[in-house]
Amino acid sequence: MPELSPRRRLLVLAICCMSLLIVSLDNTALNVALPSMQRDLHATTSGLQWTIDAYTLVLASLLMLAGSTADRIGRKRVFMAGLTVFTIGSVLCSLAPNLELLIVFRMVQAVGGSMLNPVAMSIITNTFTDARERARAIGAWGAVVGISMAAGPLVGGLLVQSVSWRAIFWVNLPVGLAALLLTLRFVPESRAPRARRPDPVGQLLVIALFGSLTYAIIEAPESGAAPVTPFAVIAAAALLALLWYEPRRQEPLIDLRFFRSAPFSGATVIAISAFAALGGFLFLSTLYLQNVRGLDALHAGLWMLPMAVPTFLCAPLSGRLVGSRGPRLPLLIAGTAMTASSVLFAAFEAETTNSTLLLGYVLFGIGFGFVNAPITNTAVSGMPRAQAGVAAAVASTSRQLGQTLGVAVVGAVLASGIGSSPYRHAFVSAARPGWWILTACGLSVLVLGLLTSGRWARLTAERTAESLETGEVREAVGVAGGAERA
């Protein structure tokens, strides 16, 4: 990629942030629309879970493929394809006549979305080569998540209240088209110096693992253990096959050597934990505010602002802290705040009074605002730039997998707890185990943030980077030698 002027770099960052905005806005706005969709499409709790998880599941399954493909054939090309498919998928979602087709069209959206976030992060990584500049750029990237959390519930509530839940998907059209035209004009093409070969077997195993695991979790409360056991077995078999097959490939879909780096491994688990907490938090909060308190979509969206605004304010601060002091402090703040928030709901039934509900939302917003920048920065820092797309895709996959599991597990626990009881009366007690699960997610962020950000962890990251670069040189020499002999 050619060296760009500071102004051009900021423009590229803004264009990449536009793609994140439509993806994040779509998810947060959709959460507010769940009760309206439930009434309109006659959906069950598991049906609502699938409207979210069908998207995040496909996204998680394809992110690494998209990242490696972008490194191979060109990041700008894949990014533009993603914007096109996502925009088309949004149009189809707005026209869905029933729940089944809405889920299918959400999967189409996800195919496009898989080409956006990891590829955009790879473009940013290759545009901002200075470590401090990159950390600040990633902080701005994280602030967009805060904007979407602040604007999503409010915009979603307003659209649901004044038009219908279908209008939520219309927001993506002008932003998607504008981002597409700006990318065509201003984003330079870039790719890895040497193309990596596809790994279709690894890709199929990832899809089998994520899909089977999610299906088993979501459907278990309604179907029972026997019907979902085969899917649990498929998930376990796919995981074992991945661990056996991927290290034997010269160019695997998932380079397991990345996980020798303690910061990278920690960032992966922290991403899963933090986004599982986010998915479960939004799911429980939306259903409680509208189905238990009886608020309309707009007022439910307004109640989410105390969570969204701190996320927006803390994300750029987190990016600056990562750039100046490293990831430890932001991760400790994030883990502490998210744990405290979840404990308020789990142990003290924070939903039942306005003051504790407000405090719980503010604490969670602070925690989530601080967690995103250190995850992303740790995932891509220290890795060879040639593999930036794959490294960023692993981080993005961890986020989506976490959100998928958060909605699946918390939704399944809620459905089991409510059973045939009156929804309004049983919700608070039925949700309590879900809040304890989110507490465990917060503690995971706190403990791993402490363990994987010290001197020992940095040494493992340096050794891993050296190993990866040495391996790349050997592979390149082998390819060149083969070409000469041919």
Neighbours of 473 (CB within 10 A): 10
Count of CB atoms situated within 10 Å of the CB of 356 = 15
User: Among 420-434, 448-462, 472-486, whose mean pLDDT is lowest?
Assistant: 472-486
pLDDT for residue 393: 67
452 has pLDDT over 80: yes
Of 49-58, 373-382, 445-454, the one with minimum mean pLDDT is: 373-382
Query: At a CB cut-off of 8 Å and minimum separation 6, what does 364 contact?
Result: 277, 281, 307, 337, 338, 341, 342
Report which of residues 389 and 351 the model is more confident about. Answer: 351
Q: Which pLDDT belongs to residue 196? A: 65
Average of pLDDT values for 100-115?
92
Higher pLDDT, 410 or 475: 410
Indicate whether 146 pLDDT > 60.
Answer: yes
Radius of gyration over alpha carbons of the chain, in Å? 22
Question: For residue 276, what pLDDT is reported?
Answer: 93
Given a contact cutoff of 8 angstroms between Cβ atoms, the answer to whether 53 and 214 are in contact is: yes
Residue with tokens 């972008």: 70
Query: What mean pLDDT do residues 20-45 have?
Result: 83
Q: How far apart are the first and last CA of the chain?
A: 31
Of the pLDDT bands very low, low, confident and very high (cuts 50, 70, 90), residue 483 is: very low
> 482 falls in which pLDDT band (50, 70, 90)?
very low
The predicted model gives 417-427 an average pLDDT of 76
Model pLDDT for residues 202-241, shown as the tens digit of each residue: 888 988 888 888 888 877 777 777 888 898 999 999 999 9
Phi-psi group of 42: left, alpha or beta (phi > 0 → left; psi -120 to 50 → alpha; rest → beta): left
Contact at 8 Å (CB) between 48 and 414? no
Q: At residue 244, what are phi and psi to the nearest 5 degrees?
A: -85, -40
Which pLDDT belongs to residue 102?
93
Q: Looking at residues 26-43, what average pLDDT do you find?
A: 84
Question: Which two structure tokens, joined as six digits, stand for 423?
Answer: 């929804």
Give 472's pLDDT tier (boundaries 50, 70, 90): low
- Interior angle at CA 392, CA 386 and CA 397, nearest 5: 140
Dihedral (CA of 423, 426, 428, 430) sign: negative
Give the residue among 19, 94, 20, 102 at the shortest CA–CA distance from 54. Answer: 102
Check whether 198 has a pLDDT greater than 60. Answer: yes
List the alpha helices (DSSP H) in 168-304.
Answer: 172-186, 200-223, 225-245, 262-287, 297-303
Dihedral angle at the C-alpha atoms of 55, 56, 57, 59, nearest 10 degrees? 90
Of 392 and 437, more confident = 437
Nearest to 192 by CA among 355, 289, 67, 32: 67
Q: How far apart are CA 89 and CA 110, in angstroms?
A: 8
Does 68 or 474 have the greater pLDDT score? 68
User: Residues of the chain with pLDDT > 90: what percent?
Assistant: 25
Contact 445, 273 (CB under 8 A): yes
Of the listed ranges 27-36, 81-90, 200-209, the least confidently predicted one is 27-36
Question: What is the mean predicted confidence (pLDDT) over 75-95?
Answer: 93
Enumerate residues 6+ apart whose C-beta is below 8 A from 302: 153, 154, 157
Higher pLDDT, 156 or 338: 338
Q: Binning pLDDT at 50, 70 and 90, where does residue 103 land?
A: very high
pLDDT level of residue 415 (50, 70, 90 thresholds): confident
pLDDT of residue 351: 86
Of residues 473 and 350, the one with the higher pLDDT is 350
pLDDT of residue 484: 45
Q: What is the number of residues in the chain?
A: 486
Render pLDDT for 317-367 as a digit per residue (tens, 0 to 9).
887 888 788 888 999 999 999 999 999 999 988 888 999 999 999 999 999
Residue 289, sorted as left (phi over 0), alpha (psi -120 to 50) or beta, turns out to be alpha
A 10 A CB-CB count for 420 gives: 5
The SS3 call for residue 44 is coil
| pLDDT beyond 50 at 479 | no
Residue 410: CB partners within 8 Å, gap ≥ 6? Answer: 279, 280, 283, 284, 434, 437, 438
Q: What is the pTM of this model?
A: 0.81
Query: Can you list the alpha helix ranges (DSSP code H) found in 381-454?
Result: 388-418, 423-451
- Whether residue 150 is predicted with pLDDT greater than 70 in this model: the reply is no
Backbone angles phi, psi at 233, to 5 degrees: -65, -40
Q: Angle at which helices 75-94 and 172-186 pack, to 10 degrees?
A: 170
pLDDT at residue 268 above 70?
yes
Of residues 476 and 432, more confidently modeled: 432
Q: According to the model, what pLDDT value does residue 454 have?
A: 80
200 closest CA partner among 251, 247, 134, 237: 251
